């Protein structure tokens, strides 16, 4: 049997980069941000530490890219839900609630990207600043339809439900809580 020469193997930088991001996100979720090292990511993907460094000059660059990747997935989920919503009032808040609260119908990829986003944000002050910047941009963008105290409260409760879920706290009827939050997004709801 002939051994494949690594120098002659077809390079697939985007496939490798995607695998590096996915494994760094997985390590973040399973073991914590402090366990994300070039060596740990390299071992998980099956490349050398130098292979990781080829794509990311520093650990911070890797972590930042994992954050941006998760943020893009979260934002795409929110945008997709908003595009399907026929009612403009509260549409950002409804989409945010559904993107934040996992009721089991989401695939693992969506749950992991969302969880990764929150774990990274909670573990790093610079990433929290990026999250705050994104949130503030979204609130400004959706101010005409989603700028009420009730809608703000609904988004904050969704964040709390997510944190409880992520922490392993049993929530008796998450579907009922989600439904009540969605009801809060309807025009004329009096908190």
Q: From first to last of the 191 residues of the chain, give the pLDDT tens digit.
A: 444 444 444 668 889 999 999 999 999 888 888 899 999 999 999 999 999 999 999 999 999 999 999 999 889 999 999 999 999 999 999 999 998 887 655 555 555 667 788 888 887 899 999 999 999 999 999 999 999 999 999 999 998 888 887 777 887 788 999 999 999 999 877 55
Q: Are residues 52 and 72 in the same domain?
A: no
Q: What is the DSSP letter of 5?
A: P
The CATH number that applies at residue 20 is 1.10.10
Residue 12 structure tokens: 């697939």
Q: What is the DSSP letter of 148?
A: S
Question: How far is residue 10 from each of residues 15, 69, 177, measured CA to CA in Å?
Answer: 11, 25, 51
Which pLDDT does position 8 carry in this prediction? Answer: 46
Contacts of 50 (CB under 8 A, 6+ apart): none
Q: Are residues 33 and 79 in the same domain?
A: no
Q: Are residues 136 and 118 in the same domain?
A: yes
Which pLDDT does position 104 carry in this prediction? Answer: 58
Q: Are residues 141 and 51 in the same domain?
A: no
The reply to whether 157 falls in a domain is yes
Which pLDDT does position 185 carry in this prediction? Answer: 96
Instruction: Please state, as a whole number, how many other Cβ atoms lie within 10 Å of the Cβ of residue 128.
Output: 13
Classify residue 95 by burial, with Cβ atoms within 10 Å: 0-12, 13-18, 19+. Answer: buried
The reply to whether 79 falls in a domain is yes
Last residue of a domain, one of 25, 42, 57: 57
Burial per residue of 160-189, b for 16 or more beta-carbon CB atoms within 10 angstroms, e otherwise: ebbeebbeeeeeeebeebbeebbebbeeee
Counting the structural domains of the chain, the total is 2
Residue 137 structure tokens: 């941009």
Domain residues for the domain of 48 are 12-57
Q: Are residues 104 and 160 in the same domain?
A: yes
pTM given for the model: 0.82
CA distance 17 to 54: 10
Q: Are residues 145 and 160 in the same domain?
A: yes
Q: Are residues 125 and 145 in the same domain?
A: yes
CA distance 141 to 148: 14
Give per-residue pLDDT as tens, 55-107.
999 999 999 999 999 999 889 999 999 999 999 999 999 999 998 887 655 55
Which pLDDT does position 63 carry in this prediction? Answer: 93
């Amino acid at each position: 049997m002939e051994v494949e020469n690594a120098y002659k193997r077809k390079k697939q930088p985007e496939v490798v980069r995607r695998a590096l991001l996915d494994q760094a996100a997985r390590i973040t979720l399973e073991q914590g941000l402090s366990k994300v090292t070039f060596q740990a990511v390299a071992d998980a993907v099956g490349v050398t530490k130098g292979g990781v460094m080829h794509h990311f000059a520093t650990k911070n660059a890797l972590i930042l890219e994992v954050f941006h990747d998760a943020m893009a997935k979260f934002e795409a989920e929110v945008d997709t839900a908003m595009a399907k919503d026929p009612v403009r009032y509260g549409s950002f808040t409804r989409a945010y609630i559904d993107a934040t609260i996992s009721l089991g119908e989401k695939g693992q990829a969506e749950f992991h990207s969302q969880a990764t986003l929150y774990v990274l944000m909670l573990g790093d002050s610079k990433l929290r600043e990026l999250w705050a910047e994104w949130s503030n941009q979204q609130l400004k963008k959706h101010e005409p339809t989603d700028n009420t105290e009730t809608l703000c409260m609904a988004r904050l409760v969704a964040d709390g439900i997510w944190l409880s879920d992520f922490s392993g706290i049993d929530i008796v009827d998450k579907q009922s809580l989600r439904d009540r939050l969605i009801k809060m997004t309807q025009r004329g709801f009096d908190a």
